[in-house]
Amino acid sequence: MSWRDKLRNDPAGAAMIDNQDYSVNFIVCPTHWHLADISPQLSWNSVKFQPGQKQQVPKEPGLYAFVVRMPYLGLPAHGWVMYIGQTGDGDSHKTLRQRFGEYLHNKNSNRRPKIFYLLNAWDGHLEFFYAPLPDRKSELVNLETNLLGAFRPPFTDRTYPATYLSPSHAF
């Protein structure tokens, strides 16, 4: 059964297939980018989101993002941030490598329909960006929230900080 067929058998997934079909709405708001005041600057690395790349991801806590990359037509390298997350906060001992492995499993399971859709619709074009932060575990949730508010990735189901929302979102 194809990944689309699996989603069609799930009510939430069927709505995504019917309504999205590779279409994603982005909020691109430069005035919010500066609100993600993250210092010192994060050191990001990336691997293609493929099973053979799992061993390249460190066994440390940190932030991660799924980015669809477009390597075509001689254009400058660019992509779209689709999802931002963190792993290893508080009492959690999960690492970036473990989280990468969980997403490999999510690619074959539609228990999280939005993630299932993301991982399959852009299969072969996703990169897993990660910033290891072993010395900043206590800051992970705050750093993630700041990034979410600045970039508002379409596949992250989180509430954004009030400072990033317009008054119309309150009602």
Residue-by-residue pLDDT tens, the chain, 171 positions: 776 677 677 766 666 655 555 667 777 777 777 777 777 688 999 999 999 999 999 999 999 999 998 776 677 778 889 999 999 887 778 999 999 999 999 999 888 888 998 999 889 999 999 999 987 878 888 888 888 888 889 988 866 555 544 444 444
Residue at 58 is within a domain: yes
For residue 75, give its domain range. Answer: 3-156
Q: What is the pLDDT of residue 101?
A: 97
Residue 60 lies in a domain: yes
- The count of domains in the chain is 1
| Residue 162 domain-assigned (yes or no) | no
- Is residue 19 included in any domain, yes or no? yes
164 part of a folded domain:
no
Tell me what pLDDT residue 11 has.
Answer: 65
Single out the residue of 43, 46, 45 nearest to residue 127, CA to CA.
Answer: 46
pLDDT at 170: 47
How far is 36 from 87, CA to CA, in rounded Å? 19
**Domain-located, residue 15:** yes
Residue 122 contacts by C-beta under 8 Å, 6 or more apart in sequence? 68, 82
